[in-house]
Structure 1
């Protein structure tokens, strides 16, 4: 069952998600100093926290909007990004390379063809549908 939302509600939801994305990118840019330039943790840690919190909120938003996100490449791709990020802890010498791979993969997940992003590995086909929550 779908529920129509007003133009105002759509605008506010879209504005909220765009704000979260902007904060996430800002956090990633700030945290990148720790990966690419080996700066002191005190310099990049607040940006790291911003990136992680905003990223988690974006994931929750997507799952709330459409639980199918979890089986589509755009959702699974986000899980892969977290996995690559987790590899930075046991292999800190590869942190810059892994961070770079995450950045490139993020572009494909955000801006790649919809047939790629919306492909469901569970259903083995592209899933499309009206998602009304933002």
Structure 2
């Protein structure tokens, strides 16, 4: 009988491939939905990509929050929440969908590929935090 070890190499590899697959699906779905929006193709032609974007995005956010709630106060979390707020503007000002999706894509690049000092900056602590051990609570 084997025991569950969340720190085992096998468990780590399963988590890694799961998150990488989820990210890949998210990028693919963004390409489909974003392309549809940018090229102003009828909604019905890219709606499935949009739905997949929302599902994978929510799962990735949930993954981060469950892993460490402090993600929500680091710029990588705060900027992700900002992207969601911008998404909500699609219903308020639909005539600006192209501009809004452009801003979202540029913010995504900043969050994903920006320097660690930016992504890990805590808006509450006014400094970088990389782990749970760096702050109390």
Please give the TM-score of this superposition, normalised by the length of structure 1. Answer: 0.90
Q: Distance in 2 between matches of 1:106 and 1:44?
A: 20
Question: Greater RCO between the two (CA within 8 Å, min separation 6)?
Answer: 1
Counterpart of 2:38? 36
| 1:77 to 2:79 alignment | yes
SS at match of 1:128: coil
* Separation of aligned partners in 1, 2:9 and 2:51: 33
Match of 1:59 among 47, 61, 76: 61
- In the alignment, structure 1 segments of 5+ residues that lack a partner are none
Evaluate the alpha carbon distance shift between residue 128 and residue 46 of structure 1 in structure 2; reply closer, same or farther with a 3 A threshold.
same
Residues in 1 aligned to 2:89 and 2:17: alpha-carbon distance in whole angstroms: 33
User: Superposition pairs for residues 1-134 of structure 1, below 5 Å?
Assistant: 5-129=7-131
Q: Hey, what's the Cα distance between the residues in 1 that align with 2:70 and 2:131?
A: 10
Inter-partner Cα distance in structure 1 for 2:59 and 2:31? 18
Q: 1:71 to 1:130 in 2, by over 3 A?
A: closer
Matched pairs, number: 129
Q: Give 1:130 shift.
A: 6.9
Q: Report the Cα distance in structure 2 between the residues aligned to 1:9 and 1:130, rounded to whole angstroms.
A: 21
How far apart are 1:33 and its partner, in Å? Answer: 3.4
- C-alpha offsets along residues 77-131 of structure 1, whole Å, 9 cap, x if unaligned? 1000011111121111111011011101101101111110000001111001279
Task: Report the structure, 1 or 2, having the larger helix content.
Answer: 2
TM-score normalized by the length of structure 2: 0.89
> Partners in 1 of 2:104 and 2:20 — Cα distance?
20
User: 5+ unaligned residues in a row in structure 2: which ranges?
Assistant: none
